[in-house]
Amino acid sequence: MFDRSILKLELVSRAALRVVLGGMFACHGAQKIFGVLHAHEQPALWTQLWWGGVIELVCGALVALGLLTRPAALLASGTMAVAYFQFDWSVQDGLGIGDLRFLPIVNGGELAVLYCFAFLLYAVSGPGAWSIDQRRHHTKPRFAEDQPNTTT
C-alpha cells in the first residue's frame, strides 16, 4: 500500500522536473537564437542549428508551462535524438566493431540523450500537476493513486 504523502510527493516532483527540464531547454534555445548566456556565434537564420534553437526555445517554454505538453515534448525528444546521432554519434566517424565512441559518456552526448528520454516521458505521460493543460481540460493527473486497486 502506498503512503498518500509519497504519492503527493510524486506529483510535486514530476511537476518540478517538467518545469526545470523545459526551462533549461528553453535557455539552450535562447543561447542559440538570441546569443545570450554564452560566447558562441549565433547560427545563421534558417539553418539547421537555428531551427534547433527555435525548437528548444519554443518547446522548452511550452513544456515548462505545461501547455501543449505532449506534442511539444515529442518534438523536443525527436530533436534531441537527431542531435545525438548527427552531432555526437556520427556515422561519418567510421565506427568499428568494439569502438566505444557510440556511448554517450565517451562522445559527449549525455545531455542530448537525457533530454531525449526525459521529454519522451512527458510526451507519453502528459504534463501532470501545475500545468496549463491540466487546467484547460479540468483533469486530475493520472498516477498510481488514480488507478483501480486490482490486488486483493
pLDDT band at 152 (very low <50, low <70, confident <90, very high): very low
Segment 53-108, tens digit of pLDDT: 999 999 999 999 999 999 999 999 999 999 998 888 765 556 555 677 778 888 88
Least confident of 21-30, 32-41, 136-145: 136-145
Counting residues of the chain whose pLDDT is more than 90, the rounded percentage is: 56
What's the rounded mean pLDDT across residues 109-114? 95
pTM: 0.83
Q: Which amino acid is at 27?
A: C
Residue 149 phi, psi dihedral angles, 5° rounding = -85, 115
Q: Give the whole-angstrom CA distance, residue 43 versus residue 101.
A: 27
What's the rounded mean pLDDT across residues 29-53? 90
